[in-house]
Amino acid sequence: MKPPEIFETHRLSLRPPQMKDAEAVFQNYARDKLVTRYLHWNPHETIEQTKTFLKRCVHVWQAGTAFPWVMTLKDTSEVIGMIELRIEEHRADLGYVLAREYWEQGLATEAAKLVIDWAIAQPGIFRVWAVCDVDNHGSARVLEKAGMEREGILRRWLYHPNVDKEPRDCYSYSIVK
């Protein structure tokens, strides 16, 4: 099952990442320590790291193993973040990241809601889920506002190397039908 390549919300346009996005992704958020704090990767130190990551994004779309979209502002086409859906059997999970300059404007919720709504509407998908670090309050709120329920804590679930050397407890959120 492949989701649409293009999604539109009120303020955002989502499209598959391209290699030419490297400069914007690197400059706008991938090198930002605050943005990557609760992510499983370290901030990029060079644009080469961003290019390697984007190569993976292009590859996973072709392979159908994951579906990342860059979030661009409809007004300016600026690349301000990314959201990714992964489909496995009857389950789909998502993750997202947004440039710090655009936080607290409802944009992550807008993107997440669209992708979640699409996924749960698919006949073969019965569970859409996401996890976030127990200290990542912004992300937890995004998932709640996008219609998910907190179902528990996955103890020692993920490494978030910018917070701790040891695996972290994460909230698990889902929507099911």
Ligand X SMILES: CC(C)(COP(=O)(O)OP(=O)(O)OC[C@H]1O[C@@H](n2cnc3c(N)ncnc32)[C@H](O)[C@@H]1OP(=O)(O)O)[C@@H](O)C(=O)NCCC(=O)NCCS
Positions that interact with ligand X (CB under 6 A): 35, 38-39, 95-98, 103-109, 132, 136-139, 141-142, 145
CB of 39 to ligand X, least distance (A): 6
Cβ neighbour number for residue 53 with a 10 Å cutoff:
18
Q: What DSSP string runs through 88-151?
A: ETTEEEEEEEE-GGGTTSSHHHHHHHHHHHHHHTSTT--EEEEEEETT-HHHHHHHHHTT-EEE
Nearer to ligand X, 26 or 38 (CB): 38
Nearer to ligand X, 39 or 87 (CB): 39
Residue 1 token pair: 């099952």
- When CB distances to ligand X are compared, the closest residue is 138
Nearer to ligand X, 125 or 172 (CB): 172
CB of 72 to ligand X, least distance (A): 14
CB of 176 to ligand X, least distance (A): 19
Longest CA span, the chain = 43
CA distance 156 to 123: 32
CB of 76 to ligand X, least distance (A): 17
Nearer to ligand X, 17 or 95 (CB): 95
